[in-house]
Amino acid sequence: MKALQYSALALGVVSAIAAAESNNDSSEVETMVITANRFEQPVDSVIASVTVIEREEIEKSAANDLLDVLSMQPGIEINRNGGRGQTTSIFIRGTNSNQSIILLNGTRLNDATTGGAQLSLLALDLVERVEIIRGARASTYGSDAIGGVINIITKPTKGTEEVSVVAGGGSDDRYYGGIRGVTQVEDTQLYFAANYDKSKGYDFLPDDGLDERYGYDTTNLNLGLNHHFNEQWEADLSYLYSDGRSEYESSGKWTDKSRKQLFDGALKFHQGALFSQLLLNYMDDQRDYYGTDGSFFSGTNTKRTQVHWLNGYKLNEDWLMQGGLEWKEDDVSASTTAYEETKRTNKAAHLNAIFGTNRYDAEFGVRYDDSSAYGSSTNYNIGGGALIADNWRLLASHSTAFRAPTFNELYYPGGGNPELKPENSTNYELGAEAFFDLFDLSLSAYRNDIDNLISGWPAENIDKARITGLEAVINFETGNIRHRVVGDLMDPEDLDTGNQLKRRAKKRFSWRGDLDIQDWSVAAEWSWRDKSYNDDANTLEIPSYHLVHLFASYAIKPQWSIDGKIHNLFDEDYATAINTYPVTQPYKAPGRSFELSTRYKF
């Protein structure tokens, strides 16, 4: 804990320096978010740690994919078994990948067999914005929202009209292209996006003597519409198709072929103080694995159907009541694994009371889930915010959450345990936001106690963990350069052994600077991550590392630009995970790479 305290002091010094050097004239722009409580509200009324990433920031980043974008955000660690297309873990505030929810336009992407969600082949050019809620949200979303919620939104902002095409290529024999468009036809907004991306990859296990390159290719298609029948009624429909292939190592080069289809629809009513939404979602997520000789080995398939009826009523200027009913079914019967049970259903009811004035905000939420697989669970959250001065806001919250056992943990032949109970967590958080002429500052301190952790084989509820941490985000300007500094200090502890939870770093810092000069946009990104361990016993160390990425864009015309990126400028030799079979060796992360693309907007 002393190291944590010293690092906190260092972070405070960074804040002071930032304030001393900056000369920013801040301007208020109201940002709306929908993920926190499943209805649109101003971000400054949310009692949670929130990050919103807009499309302009995504286009002007040095990121090669969405995971690169997420890795620069507070509270999020990304671990990859090699390069793009490989197995990836997304840790939010130190929780496992299956202890957070990943949404696409509000539709849950986490599969039912492992509980994780793979984003490595989702095209970055499809993404309109990303909303990240850090901290437990089980009272809103139910199972798995222990660490937080990431909502990837591909639906364009209402009123947008644009058609754009992009084409590019880069290192590792990569090339890609895409088109996206939005148009308004009277009361109907139509949008579409299509993208193709292919690379021969690189050898991320150079010490195995196989001299293999592990490539990928992916095709993405997104279609949707929004129609206003009148002032009270509107409807949303959208469809996403994603087809990908990636090569990976398993005592030889194997192939993972994936296909994902998502359908979602919404019928919305709003009149006076009342609003109501009927949401329908369906996901078909198929992954097939092929051996070194190209023959089919196994396949997993999650089919999910979900219906959610959400209602709200504004009692007066200060109070909003919200409630809903939800039904969800997971079906893995199309998988090649002979699970003892192949379907489960979950029924839920939730109720929220939200209070807001110019200076004070409060919310209370409770949700009851009843699963055919593991029984019932009731969770709640309570929080409040106060504007104690014109430029200071304090936040506090307390909540409970749980994670449902996956089909693998419950029913996998020879290792599943149908008697498993859900993992449970208790969360506490204190936060502060400050807005000055010179800089903006956001601080969050949190503690997450997790019981009944599932581990071992056959799976059992045997472990306990405690994750405490501090997050800080500072925005300021020096001259024409916009700066963003992010700091994460965390103590992720296995309470049974006292060891550091595997693949979690205790300290992470990042900086991003943006500069616009006439027809040029330039950005630089720097990040540093402390050491971590690949195993529960803390015997396999993953060394610390730092990375520098560069981005530059030149506008040939207002609608036509040339973009260039350099990733890992100093060719840092690093890894975020270690392969332990058949030989222990790091999954080598990509070295220095470049990308050149052009974008035209009609």
Q: Check whether 92 has a pLDDT greater than 70.
A: yes
What is the CA 12 to chain-centroid distance, rounded?
27
3-class DSSP state of 99: helix
In this prediction, residue 28 carries a pLDDT of 52
Determine the pLDDT at residue 132.
Answer: 97
Q: Is there a contact between 459 and 440 (Cβ–Cβ < 8 Å)?
A: no
Beta bridge partners of 564: 552, 596
What's the pLDDT at 18? 36
Question: Is residue 4 very low, low, confident or very high in pLDDT (cuts 50, 70, 90)?
Answer: very low
Residue 17 phi, psi dihedral angles, 5° rounding: -65, -40
Average per-residue pLDDT for the chain: 92
Residue 164 φ/ψ, nearest 5 degrees? -140, 150
pLDDT exceeds 50 at position 571: yes
pLDDT category at 19 given cuts 50, 70, 90 is very low
- The predicted pLDDT at position 251 comes to 82
Q: Which residue has the higher pLDDT, 11 or 546?
A: 546
Q: Which residue has the higher pLDDT, 154 or 16?
A: 154
Residue 89 pLDDT: 93
Of 289, 234, 267, 259, nearest in space to 122 by CA:
259
pLDDT score for 42: 87
Amino acid at 210: L
Confidence tier at 485 by pLDDT (50, 70, 90): very high
* pTM score, whole prediction: 0.93
Q: What is the pLDDT of residues 221-236, one digit of tens each?
A: 999 999 999 999 999 9
User: What is the rounded distance in angstroms from the CA atom of residue 140 to the CA atom of residue 354?
Assistant: 13
User: How far, in Å, CA of 576 to CA of 504, rounded?
Assistant: 10
**Strand partners for 597:** 168, 563
21 CB-side CA count, 13 A: 16
What percent of the chain stands above pLDDT 70? 95
For the segment 140-163, the average pLDDT, to the nearest whole number, is: 92
Give me the pLDDT at residue 218, please: 96
Express each pLDDT in 258-312 by its tens digit: 999 999 999 999 999 999 999 999 999 999 999 999 999 999 999 999 999 999 9
**For the chain, how big is the Rg over CA atoms in Å?**
23
- pLDDT, tens only, 384-436: 999 998 899 999 999 999 999 999 999 999 889 999 999 999 999 999 999 99
Write down the pLDDT at residue 369.
97
Over residues 358-370, mean pLDDT: 95
For residue 15, is pLDDT > 70? no
Q: What is the pLDDT of residues 50-63, one digit of tens each?
A: 999 999 999 999 99
82-100 average pLDDT score: 94
Average pLDDT over residues 457-481: 94
pLDDT for position 24:
40
Query: pLDDT digit string (tens) for 313-331?
Result: 999 999 999 999 999 999 9
Helix intervals (H) in 427-482: none
Are the beta carbons of 519 and 546 closer than 8 angstroms? no
